[in-house]
Amino acid sequence: MTQPLHAHNVGDLGLVADDDFEAATGESIERTLDLTTWQTGVDLGALYRRLEAEVGPALEQERRVQNVVRADIFPMLRQAPDAPAEAGVHQAKTADLEDVHRKVLFSGQLDTCDGTTATHDTLLLTVTQIGVCLISYHGNELALSQRLYRRDLRTVGADPIDEARELLGRRKDRAAAGVADKRDTLSELARRGIMTYAERATLLRRSDAAWRMGHGNIAPYELLTGSGNMALLAASLKVLRDLVAHKRFVFVPSSIKDRLLLTIGHALGPLEYAVIQTADQAMRRIVDGGRYNPESSRLAESFVDDIGHQIAVGVYRASAHSPATPFFAHVDHVHEAAHIAIADSVLQEHRGFPLSIDLADAACGAMFGSGTFEDAVASAYREHGEPVRYLPERNTREK
């Protein structure tokens, strides 16, 4: 129950043994690689039959495991080494959810923030647009945006040959144009780190609501490492300290990699939630594996020591047919936070995910989506007589 709540780097992946592959898929890697065993074309009948044959037994096995988890694992949650005081499984009552709807959600006492990024990457120029939207059920809305323009070389050399050599040298070390590459730390900093910071800073500094809701892990990998930038790290840790000090927050990720946490979540019944652990150990692993200068390392370690045990990690189910959904909250207000997340999620019980986050995401998409952004970029190229020469092939493909 203490797995990292962030994605692994490719370099962290281990080798997959042939026996492991066969145990997981039911066939040897040699058979999978033999193209004579592949189907020609699309046989929908065979696809449906195979899906039914695989899904049925998997569901039966999972239901058996869920019964064991409820009977044997749930009672042990309170005894886990990193369990907060409120650890365990709890039931949200309908009357309490109605109270949350009336007094928190629909009275304007909850602000929700989400962000989006769009990137235009060509040989000439990389433009990254970052947008965040703060919304509430009271109808209040705030939209903020920033655009970063990156060129491989901004100085004009006195010698054209030296200028060309420097430009070629810089481009050699970058990924192919239009290809995401996490080794390109400057692009990753702009694409993820700054947006993630802006979401949390907006919740802290631009909201007057009693409760703040965010999308994702409250203290994600991008901010705990500064995405490779120590100035972003220092600013992020300050914002996160103040946001955690506010206490009345709840963060809900779309997904996590922690299958153990999800297994516990899927054993929950409708309107149940489990408080499982604090974020201390997962945050500590991120910091221990990060690259910092000495001063920044002390900042990050101090942050984990002071803040990690204050953040509770839990999971809930909003309805009988919705998936398990993780959440992060302050240990002192974890029950209120869980009720707010569930109350917001039952407004769309087929998804079991907070409606306000979806609304903030939709607002960001409408204002800062890739369509309008790409149209503006394409217009600039046309103005300078190069409408398609530097655009990626996908941008000029007929829809």
Longest pairwise C-alpha distance within the chain: 76
pTM: 0.81
**What's residue 7's pLDDT?**
43
Reported as a single tens digit per residue, the pLDDT across 245-295 is 999 999 999 987 788 888 888 899 899 999 999 999 999 999 999 889 999
Of the chain, the percentage scoring pLDDT greater than 70 comes to 84
Reported as a single tens digit per residue, the pLDDT across 313-351 is 999 999 988 889 999 999 999 999 999 999 999 999 889
Place of tokens 């993630």: 196
170 in Cβ contact with 160 (< 8 Å): no
**Most confident range, picked from 69-73, 118-122, 274-278:** 274-278
Reported as a single tens digit per residue, the pLDDT across 126-139 is 788 899 999 999 88
Does the pLDDT of residue 162 top 80, yes or no? no
In which band, very low, low, confident or very high, does the pLDDT at 384 lie, cut at 50, 70 and 90?
A: confident
Closest alpha carbon to 142 in 154, 150, 156, 132: 132
Bigger pLDDT: 275 or 21?
275
Q: What are residue 200's phi and psi, to 5 degrees?
A: -75, -35
Boundaries of every domain in the chain: 83-152+182-368
137 in Cβ contact with 343 (< 8 Å): no
DSSP secondary structure letters along 1-69: ----SSPPPGGG-----HHHHHHHHSS-HHHHH-GGGSPSS--HHHHHHHHHHHHHHHHHHHHHHHHHI
**What's residue 176's pLDDT?**
53
Does the pLDDT of residue 183 top 50, yes or no? no
Which residues fall within 8 angstroms of residue 89, CB to CB, at 6 or more apart? 74, 77, 268, 272, 273, 274
- Exposure class string for 115-142: b at 16+ Cβ within 10 A, else e: bbbbbbbbeeebbbbbbbbbbbbeeeee
Place of tokens 């149940």: 272
Does the pLDDT of residue 180 top 60, yes or no? no
DSSP secondary structure letters along 264-321: HHHTS-TTEEEEEEESHHHHHHHHHTS---HHHHHHHHHHHHHHGGGEEEEEE--STT
Assigned architecture for domain 83-152+182-368: 2-Layer Sandwich (3.30)
300 in Cβ contact with 290 (< 8 Å): yes
Least confident of 31-45, 169-183, 218-232, 290-304: 169-183
Sign of CA pseudo-dihedral 254, 225, 128, 120: negative
235-239-241 Cα angle (round to 5): 115
Which residues fall within 8 angstroms of residue 83, CB to CB, at 6 or more apart? 77, 276, 277, 278
Quote the CA–CA distance of 163 and 9 in Å, as a whole number. 35
Sign of CA pseudo-dihedral 300, 306, 309, 312: negative
User: Which letter does DSSP use for residue 173 in this model?
Assistant: T
H or E stretch covering 213: strand 211-215
H or E stretch covering 380: helix 370-383
